[in-house]
Amino acid sequence: MGLASDQQPIPLQRCPGLVVVSDTPKGRGIFATKDIPAKTIIDVCPVLVLGLDENVKHIEHTSLYHYTYNWPIRDGNGDRKVAQAVVFGLGSMFNHSTQDQNVGWTRDDTRLLVTYRALRDIPAGEELCISYGGRLTFKDADRSDLPSDEDGIEQMNQIQLG
Ligand SMILES: C[S@@+](CC[C@H](N)C(=O)[O-])C[C@H]1O[C@@H](n2cnc3c(N)ncnc32)[C@H](O)[C@@H]1O
């Protein structure tokens, strides 16, 4: 039996030669064990988009809060809203780098995927980092000169994945 065009399987792709290192200044992080050429697909990650209420009532009170990303949606009235999404796979493991990100991403909001690609050649031994945007809740381990945001207002789930 064939699949309708909107049901075509989505190929998943993960770059080989990646490892999780658990004791970095940023917690766990993803590192390359071999050279990765620019534009290589690093991972194709399915996402779970959380309900707006679900996020406020539940997720914001859990550790998962620190692993969700902005996801634009339309509410029942067709108005634009920013929901939160859990990104499965490596998408939830990339740490933030303010100035030296080597991984970028594209969002597919129809198929609910994020595809991560190397922004440049990544040499073996380097950590793979994305940008969370300009608003961080934690002290950036790359920038010891900056004070951390201690008022708790700027939350990690405001990561500007978009
Ligand atoms: C999506 S998780 C990334 C994986 C995380 N390091 C772990 O061990 O599960 C986001 C968390 O990683 C840490 N993190 C990410 N980027 C960081 C950075 N530049 N400096 C310090 N901590 C960072 C923060 O604790 C943040 O809340």
Q: What mean pLDDT comes out for the span 75-101?
A: 94
Classify residue 138: in a domain, yes or no: no
Helices (H), ranges, 5-152: 52-57
Using CB atoms within 10 Å of the CB of residue 43, give its burial: 0 to 12 exposed, 13 to 18 middle, 19+ buried.
buried
> Domain tally for the chain?
1
The more confident residue out of 152 and 93 is 93
Note the pLDDT tens digit of each residue in 12-40.
999 999 999 999 999 999 999 999 999 99
Classify residue 140: in a domain, yes or no: no
Per the structure, the complete domain to which residue 117 belongs is given by: 11-132+154-158
CA distance 9 to 6: 9
Classify residue 120: in a domain, yes or no: yes
Nearest Cα residue to atom 14 of ligand 1: 26
Could you tell me if 141 and 25 are in contact, meaning their C-beta atoms sit under 8 angstroms apart?
Answer: yes
The more confident residue out of 151 and 125 is 125
Confidence check: pLDDT of 159 > 60: no
Domain of 75, CATH number, reads 2.170.270.10
Quick one: CA dihedral 16, 129, 122, 118, positive or negative?
positive
Percent of the chain residues topping a pLDDT of 70: 85
What ipTM score was computed for the predicted complex, to two decimals? 0.99
Classify residue 26: in a domain, yes or no: yes
Neighbouring C-alpha atoms within 13 Å toward the C-beta of 143: 14
Q: Is the CB of 141 under 6 A from ligand 1?
A: yes
Classify residue 30: in a domain, yes or no: yes
Q: Which amino acid is at 112?
A: L
- Please give the pLDDT value at position 57: 92
- Please give the pLDDT value at position 162: 45
Element (H, E) at 119: none
- Please give the pLDDT value at position 133: 86
Classify residue 17: in a domain, yes or no: yes
Residue whose CB lies within 8 A of the most ligand 1 atoms, among 96, 127, 137, for a mutation test: 96
Classify residue 27: in a domain, yes or no: yes
Classify residue 148: in a domain, yes or no: no
